[in-house]
Chains A and B, each alone.
Chain A
Amino acid sequence: MNGEKKLLQVDRVTVSFHVGGFIAGGRLLAVNNVSFSLDAERPEIFAVAGESGSGKTTLARVLLHDLEPTQGRVVFEGRNLSTIKRRRDAMEFMRKVQPVFQNPFETFSPLRRVEDYLFETAIQFGRARNRRAAAPIVDEALHQVGLSLEEVRQRYPHELSGGQIQRVAVARALIPQPHLILADEPVSMVDASLRMSIVNLFKKLRDEQKVSVVYITHDLATAYYISDRIAIMLRGVMVESGPVEKVLGNPLHPYTKLLQESVPKPVMTEREQWARPINLGAMEVKEYGRVGCKFAGRCPHVMEICKHAEPPALEVEGRTVKCYLYGEDAAQSNQSSLSSGKL
């Protein structure tokens, strides 16, 4: 079945946590049966988008081998991550998969110089034997992000802007020459005037360095701008995934629709549309515990079946969507519910 070589293969991954007290049942599926894969031959930017509590950060931790999935498996370049136990294997994995974190001011210790981390990375991953030999490597990595060693030499994090630190963070991640970069909300805390420089960087890495990027974000606008494919997550479930122009340009899942509409657009023409009242009252219900579709509680097209069984993944109009509205056997019933409007 593997016609093409895969860089990353996520196969029915489920992560469940135990929660005490308030929620009955005590088990929470932070990531619920998620599958996707990235091709080894064609580097791409794959966005995982969702609101808080959608499980995207938990998924990121699984992909970084920070957390073992409860079920399912993650295979990176043919190696199942759960077989990585020894430090040597972990180092080999980290050489190929590198992270970029959310808060630039937390990424590096405030009491250490940022360059130390870059030299350390070059030395530990065997690209140089000592600091002197590492200097050109560090400098080259910084040049790839539009900085130079001169600019960051002897600097502490607080002496750099959020945008600069985030670029240093990307430079550090590039030093081991990884095949995949996992960026967890890399621009959410970077100022608007600097944000695009980071975002453009990922594009450049994909095109010039052939590095694939998993871009985890809540910001659909930047996700649309840089990514090739996107997956929308809701309460641990990947409800819709596919090429970003299709998923965000013409969303099919009712949740993706709501999300896409709710992003405020920086233009005057969409004011009326955005101001169309939405009902938040029903949102406060706990959606994790739901059997069936997690969106059933606030879906305008909800059907009886949505409340009882989880929708299967269907291939519709060039993307995968988990919604009964688009199943062949549900075709008749969804016709009636669509025409009857809000239920």
Chain B
Amino acid sequence: MLAVFRDLLRYDGRFRVAFLFLMLTLLLAGLSWFSPYPPTRTFITPQDLPPSLEHPFGTNSRGQDLLWWMAFAVRNSLILGVITAVVSRLIAIFVGLVSGYRGGFIDRALMSANDSFVVLPVLPILVLLSFLLQGQLSLVTLALLLGLFGWPWDARLIRAQVLSLKERAFTRTAVYSGTPPLLLTLREHLPFVLPVVFATTINNMLWSIGMEVTLSVLGLSDVTVPTIGTTIFWANQHQALVAGVWWWLAAPILVAVVLFLGLYLLFSSVNEFIDPRTRLRRIGA
């Protein structure tokens, strides 16, 4: 594992940049544990100070140091992304594998559920739900909700792969080796599906963090919790741009760009690395 990491770092420029960017974001998120004051406290620093050595990201109109605030924001956004990705990947893998391998009635049932989820307009539903739960839509609930909506496209992708893998001779070998169906698809098909899963994990994180930003900017989430989205929401509330407090918006945007670029580059680099074809070339097939 360490060798893989070293090879990637040494031979893949994209991975180097991704690594740097993600380290920066993680560092920032890590800072939140060392914050001198909780994120909910306001008016503890002078207001509207531009970026300086003392306040690298400046301070906002609510008297908060944006560096510490952003540290909490990144941490929360990342947590949201990870929860959503894990939940939706688990559902996608399960539905995709079972549907593809078992076929027949199970496939039809799972795929009609799948297609129903695909056609659901996610944003309006989330807006409605947030509206109903206004103020009580916690970060974790939002993450789980997004996870419930984020799987269907990828489940279809996985199913399609399994359908073609099912026709290959090694699946038949496994069948005649007596391997029970669920174990068979986990052992024979999951390794081929993992690159898709991995690629979509990062994609899914990007999507969910983006969704959170959208909802927060609209003020539909719990705005007392710092996230990238709520930062922008507060900046807008205080008309930061009109007031000339540009750094209040620049900080979340900069962090978002670094995070998104880092995730995207990691996605493309790792995607190539774990592609079975590259993997086979690497082990010398």
Taking the complex as formed, is B224 at the interface, i.e. its CB lies under 8 A from any CB of chain A?
A: no
Q: Which residues of A contact B179 (CB under 8 A)?
A: 120, 124
Q: Is the CB of B285 within 8 A of A108?
A: no
- Chain A nearest CB from B86 CB (Å) reads 23
Question: When A124-B179, A156-B283 are in contact, do A111 and B191 touch as well, CB less than 8 Å?
Answer: yes
Q: Does residue B280 face the partner (Cβ distance < 8 Å to A)?
A: yes
Residues in A neighbouring B169, C-beta threshold 8 A: 101-103, 106-107
CA distance A156 to B170 in the complex (A): 13
For A107, the chain B residues whose CB sits under 8 A away are 169-170, 173
Q: Does B19 contact A (CB under 8 A)?
A: no
Query: Which residues of chain A are within 8 angstroms of B168 by Cβ–Cβ distance?
Result: 106
The docked-state distance in angstroms from the alpha carbon of A91 to that of B284 is 37
Assembly CA distance A125 to B285 (angstroms): 32
The digit string for A158-179, where 1 denotes a CB below 8 A from any CB of B, is 1000000000010011001000
B172 within 8 A of A: yes
Q: Interface size on B (CB < 8 Å)?
A: 22
Q: Which of B177, B180, B187 contacts A121 (CB 8 A)?
A: B177
Q: For the complex, is A109 an interface residue (Cβ under 8 Å from B)? A: yes
CA of A121 to CA of B175, assembled, Å: 10
Asked whether A124 and B178 contact (CB < 8 A) given A109-B170, A169-B173, the answer is yes
- Complex interface bits, B247-285 against A, C-beta within 8 A gives 1, otherwise 0: 000000000000000000000000000001001100111
| CB of A72 within 8 Å of the partner chain | no
Is the Cβ of A99 less than 8 Å from the Cβ of B172? Answer: yes
Q: Are A124 and B170 in contact (CB under 8 A)?
A: no
Given A117-B177, A120-B174, A125-B178, do A110 and B276 touch, yes or no (CB 8 Å)? yes
Mask of B176-203 contacts with A, CB within 8 angstroms, 1/0: 1111100000011001100000000000
Considering only CB atoms and an 8 Å cut-off, how many residues of chain A contact the other chain?
29
Taking CB atoms, residues of chain A closer than 8 Å to B285 are: 110, 156, 158
* Docked pose: A120 CA to B168 CA in angstroms: 19
Closest B residue by C-beta to A94: B176
Complex-state Cα separation, A288 to B169, whole angstroms: 27
Q: Given A111-B192, A124-B179, check contact A158 B280 (CB 8 Å).
A: yes
Establish whether residues A108 and B279, one from each chain, have CB atoms under 8 Å apart when the complex forms: no
Q: Which of A103, A111, A125, A169 has the most CB of B within 10 A?
A: A111
B174 contacts which chain A residues (CB < 8 A)? 109, 117, 120
Q: Could you tell me the distance between the alpha carbons of A121 and B184 in the complex, rounded to whole angstroms?
A: 12
Most buried by A among B177, B191, B276, B279: B177
- A310–B90 alpha-carbon span in the complex (Å): 57
B176 touches A158 (CB 8 A): no
Given contacts A111-B279, A112-B187, A158-B283, contact A98 B170 (CB under 8 A): no
CA–CA, A101 and B172, complex, Å: 9
Taking each of A95, A98, A108, A109, which has the highest tally of chain B beta carbons within 10 Å of its own beta carbon?
A109
Besides A106-B168, A109-B174, 7 more A-B contacts (Cβ < 8 Å) are A98-B176, A99-B172, A111-B191, A120-B174, A120-B178, A172-B173, A173-B176
Interface residues of B (CB under 8 A from A): 168-170, 172-180, 187-188, 191-192, 276, 279-280, 283-285
